[in-house]
Amino acid sequence: MSKELFVINNVWMMVSIFLVFIMHLGFATLESGLARSKNTVNILFKNSMIPPLGLLAYALWGFSLMYPGADFAGSFFGFAGFGITLPEGGETSAYNAGYTFWTDFLFQGMFAATAATIVSGAVAERIKFSSFMVFSILFVGLCYPIVGMWKWGGGFLNTLATPFYDFAGSTIVHSVGGWGALAGILLLGPRIGKYVEGKVKPIPGHSIPLATIGVFILWLGWFGFNGGSVLSAEPGAVSRVLVMTSLAAAAGAVGACLVSNVLFKSNDLTMVLNGILAGLVGITAGADQMGVVDSVVIGGVAGGLVVLGVVFFDKLKLDDPVGALSVHLVCGLWGTLAVGLFGKLAGTQQLISQLIGIGAVAVFSFGFAFVVWYVLKVTMGIRVTEREEIEGLDIHEHKMHAYPDINAPGYEISMPEKEEVLVPQLPARAAVTA
């Protein structure tokens, strides 16, 4: 490989890192916008701590769990030791498809933190901050890298007769986060007032503009999420992935719009926003394998599924304030199955391998998350008190408001006394007649 190509590949991977990093801002704005204003600081705080804690855990042991080396090929578990160690050749040597070791670590680390961010929105508005942080460290540091090793680290899913395929993580990232979210919701219970006398009571978010901004930031970030997963700057492959990613997102928006119109007889913006994300999640498993029609179908179906998923989980009284289960779990599973149904890899054997991968990841991820949540519930507790939930987590967990009310006690503004200003009285206007 020429030095010029090495530099180009490395620069593209670093740009992808920047785009994946900005996705955390997208999650933060989306989740806070779809929650009530009294919990805004809490959600922003969680989303501000997940990347730092996740990156540290991934550096200390997670990366070595996910990429333990060739000695563990085909296995369920491997560990290369604590910390991150440079390969032979030093920090400027070519690594993987022609980029440095440091670049690879940071790209993978940004992916890792995303799994816990998915859980954040699903348990919003009633989770204890301290318990969520402990869960995030364990989930990002242990669960995600072990599952990732099964495919991307050369583990058993990658050595099946027909290898399981997940290009950028519909299952390995998104469904892992979805299974963790489901376990948390089951043990946490719904928000106060969400399900009353057998009926679903909508709890609208406080800022649809924030939520909209978040979705478009996420769409932008997905160009790095999927485009960087090519693992090189090869023009044809990267361009194809970016086009298929965008077409699926567009079709997801249309699919969600149509289905929500049929079900609710209204143009629900929140459903369209989640439809965009659904299309993005759905195409992530096979963005490099699909054609135009394939991508549109996958995205359109995902958009419809996300609306049906929201209705389905509400019927089960599984309270998910941002629709994370519908977007990341349901559409992550759909996107993974779609690899065996569409594109270059379509076929019975591939579909069977996709089902094996889905099943293995589901059992491990849900089981891991359920055990962690349960242990936290019986030790630290995972739910805030009724008073804290009603009054808002911002003031109780963080002692601050996202939007201070200048008329509320403690926010009075002292103004100097002013001389009375006399305003001249204007003569009354005559009535205006047509």
Of 269, 164, 303, 211, the closest CA to residue 25 belongs to: 211
Residues making up the chain, counted from first to last: 434
Give Rg (Cα) of the chain.
24
Least confident of 98-112, 271-285, 365-379, 399-413: 399-413
pLDDT on residue 2: 83
**Is the per-residue pLDDT at 411 higher than 60?**
no
Q: What is the pLDDT of residues 133-151, one digit of tens each?
A: 999 999 999 999 999 999 9
Mean pLDDT of 257-265: 95
For residue 307, name the pLDDT band (cuts at 50, 70, 90): very high
**Is the per-residue pLDDT at 312 higher than 90?**
yes
**Is the per-residue pLDDT at 421 higher than 70?**
no
Please, what's the largest Cα pairwise distance for the chain?
93
pLDDT on residue 422: 41
Question: Please, what is the average pLDDT of the chain?
Answer: 90
- Identify the structural domains of the chain with CATH numbers, from first to last: 3-72+95-393 (1.10.3430.10)
**Is the per-residue pLDDT at 269 higher than 50?**
yes
Residue 401 makes CB contacts below 8 A (sequence gap 6+) with 38, 41, 394, 395
3-state secondary structure 32-83: HHHCCHHHHHHHHHHHHHHHHHHHHHHHHHHHHHHCCCHHHCCCCCCCCCCC
Give burial (CB, 10 Å; 0-12/13-18/19+) of 412.
Answer: exposed
Whether the CB-CB separation of 430 and 232 falls below 8 Å is answered with: no
**Is the per-residue pLDDT at 9 higher than 90?**
yes
More confident residue, 322 or 405: 322
Mean pLDDT of 195-218: 94
pLDDT on residue 305: 98
For residue 429, name the pLDDT band (cuts at 50, 70, 90): very low
Helix axes 101-122, 176-188, angle to 10 degrees: 30
DSSP state letters, 173-230:
IIIHHHHHHHHHHHHH-PPTTSEETTEE-----S-HHHHHHHHHHHHHHHHHHHHGGG
Q: Which residue has the tokens 């999420």?
A: 225
pLDDT on residue 89: 65
Strand pairing category for 199-200 and 195-196:
antiparallel
**CA 63 – CA 153 distance, rounded (Å):** 10
